[in-house]
Every structure is written in C-alpha cells, then in structure tokens.
Amino acid sequence: MEEAIQILTAQKVRELLTLCGIGDRSDEPIKQHILGISNFDAIYAVKKDNALFVSKAMQSRYNETAYWDIIMKGAKLLDPAKLPTAMGRLDDFTTVEKHATKIFMEEAGYGISYANQRRCRRLWRRLFEM
C-alpha cells in the first residue's frame, strides 16, 4: 500500500514539475526524496492535503448557492411554448426550470444524466433557499 501511494505521489509530482518545465521525467530523484521523508512529515502532508480538499469543497458549496439564481435568470429567457415536453419523474420543477438547469449544466461542464440533473436541481434550489 505504501509503495502504491509513493508511486502515485511521485507520478503527480513528476507531472507537475514537467508542466512547470522543471526537471525531467525520471522517477529516481522523486523516489529518493520520498524515501527521505519522515513518517511525521508524511502524516502532516496528508492532513494538510485533506484540509485543503475540505476547504475547496466548502468553497464549491458556497459558490453553488448562487447557481439557482443563475438558472432562474436563464429560465426567464426561454420560451415555454418552444420547449420539449419534460421527461423524467414528476416533481415540483417546471419544464422551463428543468430545461434551464440542463443548459446550465452543459455549459458548466456537469454530467447531464437525468438522475444528475434531478439531484443538482434539488441541491441548488435548496442551497439558494437557505
């Protein structure tokens, strides 16, 4: 397990260094550096990485509170008469809201399966209403 983590970490570091134009694609310098890291430093790095991940997730959730407002502004620009019939489960969302959500998700790079659209619609509206 530790070897797998070291290899994945080495790969990540190598890719970052290559993107920055620093170093070569050799694994040896990275492996030597990893072997020299103490257990305490490794645990600290993992804890720091987890904390950064959590803070990024919190920032994303905060940003998502504005998504429903953006979707509703987009919905106002749509003509309900020209939209296709709503598909999926009956819920408390209008056809215009469903279509505006799908357009937003496509443009923002989210997956647009019916289940994901339904999940995101509910989440974003609830976050907006909080």
Q: How far apart are CA 100 and CA 3, in angstroms?
A: 47
- From residue 27, alpha-carbon distances to 4, 19, 99, 126 in Å are 14, 15, 49, 47
Q: How far apart are CA 10 and CA 1, in angstroms?
A: 14
Which residues of the chain are modeled with pLDDT < 50? 1
Q: Which pLDDT value is given to residue 46?
A: 79
Q: How far apart are CA 86 and CA 15, in angstroms?
A: 44
Q: Which pLDDT value is given to residue 7?
A: 54
Q: Which pLDDT value is given to residue 103?
A: 94
Q: How far apart are CA 77 and CA 13, in angstroms?
A: 46
> Residue 125 in contact with residue 68, Cβ under 8 Å?
yes
pTM for the complete prediction? 0.59
